[in-house]
């Protein structure tokens, strides 16, 4: 869309004085952030707009992740799509399958002549949004990974040693026993159970969540998260649930409020929970790496991300894409990324932003805020740990939620629940495959 500032001609009896007419290309950016995150996005847009005069980015909130994706798809069908659309990570396969709807980021940058090197981005982040030969399809924007949040005051009251090793699930069990014995009502809870307790569990232990490189290798992928490692982990959580040591709060982040209020001792949640916990917690808290099973060879590998990336929509003039390239380059710059990382708790998407944050002393002043970065970058991602790319993934997560709830309630064993989830989920994968051949 073009927004033209029209010049005027002012006439006098002897002279016409022309005023310069400037054309500014308008870039539409649809996103899913409200509240504080929405304010921070607006600040980024304002900073970019003030830094140059050729382009004007207009940011618009379009609802939650699902609503924003649906709005973008509907707009494209009507020929009214934005230039840039924010899409959550589970929508990646859907965007890839939208033939003719998206323009790959690597192509946008190349055609605009804007310097761009996908190797500048953190491996476990860029892997989610690249082709198997390393070409970046969308730009990582807000990326987080799960960590273990700890209410140190509750652990102290339960007599748990300050130097207790919380790095393995084997060590978590005895700590939960102590917390329960000390009268803690919520020894442990989790947010986003499928993302953390199955998707990330699989990656962290380098076992497949699905075949075909977790779906990266083709639409004929089949779910495989009913293997020994996943079954052991889910059954252990189910056993802890029976003992009142693992308290299920809900499918999304319902447990966040309980942890921030001080009623839960251990909480597996996104690294992006940092801002809210820091602002609300009235207790001493710590952030630790996500625990792993020590008896699994090669563990821990690396965790995978949640969050969203920015997709460029097809059907726009060449001048729009030049502006899009400049804006995406701005968002990826070390200064902008470092500030975003520090303000939100989301990961820095580039190595340079992480280095700058360290040089600025942020990690030293805020202990534990580098845990997520280290956890994701300590090892090069494998076929099992670079991410998950499956069609109908949002619906598959709903199936997983239903089956996990049957384990927490004691109605099913972990093996039965995961076997059923795999069978039901594979039916959705085959429908997606047939629709996108």
Taking domain 146-303+391-435, whether its CATH number is 3.40.190.10 is answered by yes
Close Cβ partners of 40 (under 8 Å, ≥ 6 residues apart)? 33, 340, 343, 344
Share of the chain above pLDDT 90, in %: 79
| pLDDT for 21 | 43
Q: How many CA atoms lie within 13 A of 206 on its CB side?
A: 14
Confidence of residue 9 (pLDDT cuts 50, 70, 90): very low
Q: Which range (63-67, 130-134, 222-226, 366-370) has the least confidence?
A: 130-134
Query: Whole-angstrom Cα distance, residue 72 to residue 32?
Result: 11
Question: Mean pLDDT over residues 50-64, rounded?
Answer: 96
What would the pLDDT profile of 78-87 be if each residue is shown by its tens digit? 999 999 999 9
- Whole-number average pLDDT of the chain: 92
Tell me, yes or no, if the two domains 2-144+306-377 and 146-303+391-435 fold the same way: yes
Is it the case that residue 264 has pLDDT exceeding 70?
yes
Residue given tokens 């003992």 in the structure block:
243
Question: Mean pLDDT over residues 179-185, rounded?
Answer: 98
pTM of the model: 0.86
Is it the case that residue 222 has pLDDT exceeding 60?
yes
Q: Which range (44-58, 150-164, 260-274, 364-378) has the least confidence?
A: 364-378
Question: Mean pLDDT over residues 386-393, rounded?
Answer: 92
Q: Token digits for 181?
A: 């014995």
| pLDDT for 127 | 77
Is it the case that residue 10 has pLDDT exceeding 50?
no
Taking domain 2-144+306-377, whether its CATH number is 3.50.50.60 is answered by no
Exposure class string for 297-324: b at 16+ Cβ within 10 A, else e:
eebbbbbbbbbbbbbbbeebeeebbbbb
Residue given tokens 């190595």 in the structure block:
351
Domain ranges of the chain: 2-144+306-377, 146-303+391-435
Is it the case that residue 12 has pLDDT exceeding 70?
no
Angle between helices 105-112 and 318-331 (to 10 degrees): 110
| pLDDT for 37 | 87
Query: Whole-angstrom Cα distance, residue 110 to residue 390?
Result: 28
| pLDDT for 345 | 87
């Amino acid at each position: 869309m073009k927004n033209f500032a029209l010049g005027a001609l002012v006439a006098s009896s002897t002279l016409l004085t022309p005023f310069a007419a400037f054309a500014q290309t308008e870039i539409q950016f649809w996103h899913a952030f409200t509240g504080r995150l929405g304010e921070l996005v607006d600040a980024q847009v304002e900073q970019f707009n003030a830094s140059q005069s050729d382009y004007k980015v207009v940011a618009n909130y379009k609802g939650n992740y699902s609503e924003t994706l649906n709005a973008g798809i509907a707009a494209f069908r009507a020929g009214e799509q934005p230039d840039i659309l924010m899409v959550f990570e589970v929508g990646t396969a859907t965007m890839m399958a939208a033939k003719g709807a998206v323009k790959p980021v690597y192509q946008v940058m190349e055609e605009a002549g804007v310097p761009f090197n996908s190797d500048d981005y953190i491996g476990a982040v860029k892997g989610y949004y690249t082709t198997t030969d390393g070409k970046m399809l969308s730009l990582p924007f807000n990326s987080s990974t799960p960590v273990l949040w700890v209410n140190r005051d509750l652990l102290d009251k339960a007599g748990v040693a300050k130097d207790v090793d919380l790095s393995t699930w084997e060590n978590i069990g005895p700590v939960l026993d102590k917390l329960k014995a000390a009268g803690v009502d919520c020894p442990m809870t989790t947010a986003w159970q499928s993302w953390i307790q199955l998707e990330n569990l699989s990656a962290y232990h380098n076992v497949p969540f699905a075949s075909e490189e977790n779906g990266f290798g083709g639409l004929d992928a089949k779910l495989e998260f009913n293997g020994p490692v996943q079954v052991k982990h889910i059954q252990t959580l189910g056993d802890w649930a029976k003992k009142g040591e693992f308290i299920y709060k809900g499918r999304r982040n319902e447990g966040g409020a309980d942890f921030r209020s001080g009623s839960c001792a251990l909480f597996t949640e996104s690294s992006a929970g940092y801002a809210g916990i820091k602002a609300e917690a009235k207790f001493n808290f710590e952030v630790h790496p996500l625990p792993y099973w020590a008896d699994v060879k090669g563990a821990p590998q690396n965790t995978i991300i949640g969050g969203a990336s920015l997709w460029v929509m097809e059907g726009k003039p060449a001048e729009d894409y030049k502006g899009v390239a400049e804006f995406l380059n701005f968002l990826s710059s070390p200064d902008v990324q470092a500030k975003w990382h520090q303000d939100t708790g989301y990961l820095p998407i580039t190595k340079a932003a992480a280095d700058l944050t360290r040089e600025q002393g942020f990690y030293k002043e805020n202990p534990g805020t580098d845990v997520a970065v280290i956890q994701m970058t300590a090892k090069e991602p494998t076929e099992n740990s670079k991410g998950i790319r499956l069609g109908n993934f949002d619906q598959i997560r709903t199936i997983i939620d239903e089956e996990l709830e049957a384990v927490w309630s004691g109605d099913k064993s972990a093996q039965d629940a995961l076997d059923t989830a795999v069978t039901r989920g594979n039916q959705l994968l085959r429908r997606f495959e047939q629709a996108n051949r």
